[in-house]
Amino acid sequence: MQPIVILISFGAFIATLVGGLVAIWLKDKLHLILGFSAGAVIAVAFFDLLPEAIGLGKNYYSIMTVTSIVAAGFLVYLILDRMIFLHAHADEHDNLDMHKHDSGGVLGAGSLSVHSFLDGVAIGLAFQVSVSIGAIVAVAVLVHDFSDGINTVNLILKNQGESSKAFRWLIVDALAPVIGVTSTLFFQLPENALAIILALFAGFFLYIGASDLIPESHHAHPRFMTTLMTLLGAAILYMAINMANL
């Protein structure tokens, strides 16, 4: 069992890394990649995280409770984004903008990295239940880890970060699922706790996609193509997640 899990965690590392490198190489087309990333992030929230949270929490919480936690995650991220991490520390407008961009990128990339860690935890815990369930979860994770790598890099680059900084965060994000899988060899997380965590991150991702990536992808660029890329990102993730669950 352990060799299979280790191999899958290595696959998650490669998928995340390749996705991020593609984003770095194509940074001149960043608005299109951002549009795709926005759709992918929102799709992961709606079609992956939220259903998983409801499924895991159905024996412990009502659907209203789970969706309320999603809303709480959205609002918590809003507060962090606008009042804490992006709080003004300079009088000049340019310095304020630079502080906002840098903090926003780190906050978003950090959130995605924690999510990738939880992806690894989900794989490990699923294999603790059964090989078949573990395989389904693993396929779903591998499918959107490529997009996670793109999203992590995009959040740094579009917030005035350098490629070297984006690459460092990409390595963090790529290693996160490996660490998550490894950690499950030493503990078992109750389903009710995992449901809460997934619901919170669904709210985080909805905020990142709707309030950050979508507006940025449309800024000073043709809206038809960026909108098309957003729909494409959501559609591809929707189909991939559904195929993984067959």
Against a cut of 0.75, is the pTM above it? no
CB-based burial label for 22 (10 Å; 0-12, 13-18, 19+) = middle
Cβ-based neighbours of 147, under 8 Å, separated by 6 or more: 19, 37, 40, 41, 44, 233, 237
CB 55 within 8 A of CB 182: no
Instruction: Give residue 206's pLDDT.
Output: 92
Which segments of the chain have a pLDDT < 50?
Answer: 86-100
Round to the nearest angstrom and report the end-to-end CA distance of the chain.
Answer: 22
| Each residue's pLDDT tens digit, 47-73 | 888 998 899 899 999 999 999 999 999
Instruction: Give residue 133's pLDDT.
Output: 63
